[in-house]
Amino acid sequence: MDLNAVINRMLKRDKKTRNKRLYLRLFSAIPLSNNTGLVEWVPNTNVLRKLIDDEYLRMQKQPLQQSILTKFGKSNGVPQKSYGTAFDYAVKDYPPVFGKYFLHQFLEPNQWYQNRLNFVKTAAVWSMVGYIVGLGDRHSENILIDTNNGDTIHVDLAMLFESGRLLNIPEKVPFRLTRNMIDGMGVTGYEGAFRLTCEATLELLRKNNETLLNVLETFKHDPLLDWEQIQKKKENQAKKAMNSADVDSAHKIIGQKLQGIVGDSALPLSISGQVDYLIDEATNEENLKSMYIWWMPFL
């Protein structure tokens, strides 16, 4: 939250992002000890999965998670070999419906337009910031939607510094940009306000890379942070617990991202080129099919 507050100040100071009214929707978190703290309750919000499930119920379809469990589930859950088949089934039988949520929730045309735009912009800003810091675990219950104004709010921010790639079933997408997320963005999908907001946000982050790296440096040395305990508590199916060497490596990767270096590329990409690459990775079906089933990449 400290880092996000710094980014919000940057967004307000920069003329381009200020004119676009870009911001991260935050909530307060106050640590009291290593294991306890206070987290602000965010009113008028609901998780992404519940809003989408409600739209399927309007179509007289059972919730997608329940349908997949019925069709592909075994006594110990859905076997990994069935992930791709379950993905194809969901894509075929469950069309994206999140765009209809905004029609049902906001009945006045100007309210519908503005609140859907709020969703697109806040989703884009969170996507870029999450990509830079290596934020994982962006399943459909860790993303909240403000039912009053459409804002996207991310919660459960513990899986940082690319730790999602250490899971037995590693995360392969830089942020969540699944079918229903795109459907909620309107007819232009991610090619409209989402892409433009991503480019404006990434440009700001790259321009302020030294400040961000200095703030992130404190994460490595904070005496309250025990990376091994965080990782073990977060995911007991991890290949290994994250240690200080992993954090050092992730810190270097963050520096490369802020220079525009991605994947195996030796040369930095332009702002638009980097956004292109990230959108391609986030929407790549092969990446999505390999994700953990209850991340719900098909939703």
* Range(s) of the domain holding residue 230: 46-295
Distance CA 217, CA 247 (A): 10
pLDDT tens sequence across 278-289 = 999 999 999 999
Model confidence band, residue 170 (pLDDT cutoffs 50, 70, 90) = confident
CA distance linking residue 49 with residue 140, whole number of Å: 5
Residue 39 in any domain: the answer is no
Residue 38 lies in a domain: no
**Percent of the chain beyond pLDDT 90?**
46
Q: Give the dihedral of Cα atoms 231, 257, 27, 36; nearest 10 deg.
A: 20
In a domain, 226, yes or no: yes
Mean pLDDT of the chain: 86
pLDDT at 13: 92
Residue 87 forms part of a structural domain: yes
> Rounded to an integer, what distance in angstroms lies between the CA atom of residue 299 and that of residue 296?
6
31 within some domain: no
Residue 200 domain-assigned (yes or no): yes
- Assess if residue 133 is contained within a domain: yes
Opening angle at CA 53, ends 49 and 59, nearest 5: 155
- The answer to whether residue 225 scores a pLDDT higher than 60 is no
For residues 65 and 59, give the distance between their C-alpha atoms in angstroms, rounded to a whole number.
15
Per-residue pLDDT averaged across 222-242, rounded?
A: 54
Q: Is the pLDDT of residue 196 over 70?
A: yes
pLDDT band at 104 (very low <50, low <70, confident <90, very high): very high
pLDDT for 210 equals 87
Residue 201: give its domain's CATH number. Answer: 1.10.1070.11
List, in order, residues 6 or more apart from 67 with CB less than 8 Å away.
Answer: 61, 90, 93, 94
What average pLDDT does the segment 128-135 reach? 91
Round to whole Å and give the CA distance between 86 and 122: 30
Q: What pLDDT does residue 117 have? A: 95
Give me the pLDDT at residue 267, please: 83
Least confident of 156-160, 203-207, 236-240, 261-265: 236-240
Residue 193 lies in a domain: yes
pLDDT attached to residue 230: 54
Amino acid (1-letter code) at residue 177: L
Kindly tell me if the per-residue pLDDT of 265 is higher than 80. Answer: no
**Which whole number is the average pLDDT over 64-89?**
83
Whether 131 shows a pLDDT value over 90: the answer reads: yes
User: Which whole number is the average pLDDT over 47-51?
Assistant: 94
Domain count, the chain: 1
